[in-house]
Every structure is written in C-alpha cells, then in structure tokens.
C-alpha cells in the first residue's frame, strides 16, 4: 500500500519497533511474515462512525491502528490489503467480498468496543479485550491458533485487564477458508483511556500488539508445518492420511470391529473408551494437553473446544461418535453450519439405508459437533431397533460406517 519508505525511514521505524515498551520476551523472528498476504479491515468509516464516546469516533481509532500496523507489516515483507485506507464508508458485504476475492493468509477486522452507559457505570466494570475468531472456518486448526496468538499478545495491552477469546459469527469473519479475526482491544468507556488512545504513542502500542500477534501466528504455523501434520487442511484429506476417531464408550465390540475394518484399509483409528471429566468422555491421554490450553478459554468455551483440541492431539480429521440411546430415534447429527459434516452424514444415511436401518439427519450445534479441526458426526442408534449384541449386525453397521468414510474421502 504505502511505498514511500526510504531506507532511513525504515531504519527509524525499526528503531521505534524495538524500543517499544512492549516486552518482547524472546528474540522474535519476523521472517515468516515475508510475502504473507494479510488483509486489514478497519471497522466502520465515513458516516458510519461506529461507537462515539468522549468525542472520539471508533472509526478513527480503527483506521489509525490499521494504518500504523500496515507500516510495520510492509516493512517486514508482508503484503497488505486494506478494505479502507481513508475515512470512508465500506459496506460489510464489500468487505467480505474483498476477503473472499483475495483469500489472504490472515484477515483481521480492527474495531473498538462499546456498551451501554449502565455497563460502564457498574461498580465491578473492568475493561477487557475481546478476540473473536471465525466459528465457520472449515479448515484445520489455523483459526483457533490465530485466536490464541491474539489472546496472548493482547494480554499486554496497556490499561486493559483481561482478554476473552470467543468464536464469532460477524459478517466479515464468516469465511470458511480464510482464518479470520475480529478484534475489540478495549471498551470505549473510560474517558482517560479513550483520550489516550488517540495519541501517537498509544496507536503505536496497539499496532505493535497486533504485529506481535500476527507474527507469532505465522511463526506457530511454520513450526507446526515442520513437525506434526496436524495442520493439513481438510481439503488435503485422502484415504491414506486420514485418521478416524471412534468414540463409542457404550459398546467395546463395536469399536473393535470398526477399528479392524478401518485398519485393514490403512486408515488409522484412535479409539476412545475412557471416561473422564463429568462423563464427557475425555481420554486420559489428552488431559495434559487440555490443561495446558484450558486457561486460554472462558469456562463455557472449554467445553466447546474440547473436541477440537482432542482431534488435534490425535491428528484425526474425522470424528464419528456413536451413541446407543433407547429413548431417542436413530439419527445422524452434524454441526448445523458444517458442509463437510452434512456430506459425511449423507453418505452415512445412504449406507445405513442399504442395510435396512433408516437414520435421519438432524443438524445440531451441541459441543461435541462443533470441532473446527475435524469433520464430526454423531450417530445415535436405538438399541430397541438395532440389536447391537448381534455380532453380524455390528459388523454390517461398521461396514456401512467404513464405506461412508471412504465415500466421503473420495468425493472430497
């Protein structure tokens, strides 16, 4: 965007960069920013000023941070696209269309938060940062990773007490293919903070906090790429690389049969039949990973992402949970926003039909299905209708599941 940087200006900016009061704990490697395509979406603009508090417009704060961040990113070799670089109105659709057209490596929507007067007046009001990552992202763990990196970096934002990391459904972060973040660094409640936020020093501080988050995201991606293949996007799945996570604590025979079928076809399986944590069926093997990551999440977030984290631990890209509930009909459920889940469900429905078991598709949003790293379905079989103690039937059902997985993988 800005090509006016001379060597002198670059040297000066770098000096500013490294003399910032942000604590750069470890020596930071910025080489992974080179040639990355980053889209900065400065919220609001023009007649849409967003929040207005203490005579300061949110749209101005957003643009100031984005323009400052742009300078650092370009200096470090990233390519930057701005949805706006002046005080003008840009519709949410235009922003989202630009994202889908350019398909950047990372999309960041920059905002500042507002709430009601009562929210600010409450005795226990404490300012905090909100980090939203796309709840629709249908690839690997990139979106959660980006969320965690922003979460980590913004813990050091001046005058702000805590950071909340949440999945978001805002228009601009609904891409299924681009990791997308929407940031609300602070609420524009306290006059002192809002006035301070218009100063060049604070704008630089905020932009550098963004830079730190973005940089650590690309560093983490490259570290992961060098090690575990857990970032292989779903599009890269094939029968050779897929691992299938089977989860059916109610029926050990079922698991064993399914596993041997899948293994015979060179599809790795991971079986979970341990019970931990309030019956949520978390395997002992993954507990330590969960505990280390737990503090990053709000309590209600933990449950939502247990499955995503678990699948990362085993590199499984497909989860099939099977439950046996005599009170419920025979159904297959997938997360209601996941196209891949619906595709796998369709294959399951078809194959079950062929063996005389009618299962219905039931979109759901409960936590076990909301994994963002794996295609997840839950099949419920009513044992009054399906005799799971009959080994022949168990084998037939497992063949149906296995063939559905194959069909799904081949048609992807």
Q: How far, in Å, CA of 132 to CA of 125, rounded?
A: 21
Stretch that binds Zn ion, among 46-54, 139-147, 233-241, 316-324 (CB under 5 A): 46-54
How many residues touch Zn ion under the rule CB under 5 A: the total is 3
Residues 50-79 that bind Zn ion (CB under 5 A): 50
Decide whether 210 or 245 has the Cβ nearer to Zn ion.
Answer: 210
Decide whether 57 or 111 has the Cβ nearer to Zn ion.
Answer: 111
Decide whether 140 or 185 has the Cβ nearer to Zn ion.
Answer: 185
Stretch that binds Zn ion, among 105-113, 249-257, 290-298, 404-412 (CB under 5 A): 105-113
Instruction: State yes or no: residue 45 binds Zn ion (CB under 5 A).
Output: no
Of positions 71, 111, 212, 319, contacts Zn ion by CB under 5 A? 111
The residue of the chain with the least Cβ separation from Zn ion equals 111
Q: What are the residues facing 130 on neighbouring strands?
A: 164, 184
- b (16+ CB within 10 A) / e for 325-354: eeeeebbbbbbebbebbbbbbbbbbebbee
Decide whether 55 or 300 has the Cβ nearer to Zn ion.
Answer: 55
Decide whether 43 or 45 has the Cβ nearer to Zn ion.
Answer: 43
Q: How far, in Å, CA of 83 to CA of 43, rounded?
A: 9
Q: What are phi and psi of 188, to 5 degrees?
A: -85, 50
Q: How far, in Å, CA of 199 to CA of 205, rounded?
A: 10
Stretch that binds Zn ion, among 21-29, 39-47, 297-305, 393-401 (CB under 5 A): 39-47
Dihedral over alpha carbons 38, 39, 43, 46 (to 10 degrees):
130
Q: How far is the CB of 128 from Zn ion (least distance, A)?
A: 16
| Sign of the Cα pseudo-torsion (289, 294, 300, 305, in order) | negative
DSSP assigned state of 21: S
Q: How far is the CB of 346 from Zn ion (least distance, A)?
A: 39
Instruction: Kindly calculate the radius of gyration of the chain based on its CA atoms and give it in whole angstroms.
Output: 24
Stretch that binds Zn ion, among 48-56, 148-156, 284-292, 400-408 (CB under 5 A): 48-56
Q: What are phi and psi of 182, to 5 degrees?
A: -120, 125
Stretch that binds Zn ion, among 15-23, 47-55, 195-203, 258-266 (CB under 5 A): 47-55
Of positions 39, 41, 43, 131, contacts Zn ion by CB under 5 A? 43
Q: Which residues bind Zn ion (CB under 5 A)?
A: 43, 50, 111
């Amino acid at each position: 965007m800005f090509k006016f940087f001379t060597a002198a200006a670059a040297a000066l900016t770098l000096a500013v960069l490294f003399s910032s009061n942000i604590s750069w704990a470890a020596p930071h490697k910025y080489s992974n920013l080179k040639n990355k395509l980053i889209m900065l979406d400065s919220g609001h603009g023009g007649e849409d000023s967003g929040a207005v508090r203490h005579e300061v417009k949110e749209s101005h704060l957003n643009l100031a941070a984005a323009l400052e961040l742009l300078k650092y990113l370009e200096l470090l070799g990233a390519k930057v696209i701005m949805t706006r670089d002046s005080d003008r109105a840009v519709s949410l659709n235009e922003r989202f269309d630009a994202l889908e057209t350019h398909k950047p490596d990372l999309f960041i929507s920059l905002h500042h938060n507002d709430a009601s007067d009562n929210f600010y007046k409450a005795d226990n009001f404490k300012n905090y940062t909100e980090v939203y990552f796309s709840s629709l992202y249908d690839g690997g763990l990139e979106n959660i990773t980006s969320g965690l990196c922003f979460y980590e970096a913004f813990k050091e934002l001046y005058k702000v007490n805590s950071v909340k990391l949440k999945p978001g459904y805002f228009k601009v972060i609904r891409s299924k293919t681009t990791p997308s973040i929407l940031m609300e660094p602070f609420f524009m409640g306290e006059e002192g903070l809002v006035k301070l936020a218009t100063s060049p020093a604070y704008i630089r501080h905020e932009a550098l906090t963004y830079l730190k988050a973005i940089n650590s995201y690309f560093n983490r991606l490259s570290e992961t790429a060098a090690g575990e293949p857990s970032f292989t996007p779903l599009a890269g799945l094939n029968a050779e690389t897929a691992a299938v996570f089977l989860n059916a604590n109610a029926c050990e025979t079922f698991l064993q049969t399914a596993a041997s079928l899948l293994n015979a076809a060179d599809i790795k399986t991971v079986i979970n039949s341990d019970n931990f944590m309030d019956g949520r069926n978390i395997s002992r093997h993954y507990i330590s990973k969960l505990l280390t990551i737990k503090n990053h999440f709000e309590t209600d977030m933990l449950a939502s992402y247990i499955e995503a984290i678990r699948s990362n631990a085993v590199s499984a890209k497909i989860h099939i949970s099977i439950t046996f509930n005599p009170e419920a009909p025979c159904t297959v459920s997938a997360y209601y926003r996941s196209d891949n889940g619906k595709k796998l469900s369709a294959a399951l429905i078809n194959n079950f039909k062929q063996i005389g078991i009618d299962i219905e598709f039931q979109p759901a949003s409960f936590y076990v299905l909301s994994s963002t790293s794996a295609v997840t379905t839950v099949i419920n079989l009513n044992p009054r209708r399906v005799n799971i103690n009959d080994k022949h039937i168990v084998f037939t059902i497992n063949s149906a599941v296995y063939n559905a997985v194959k069909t799904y993988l081949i048609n992807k």
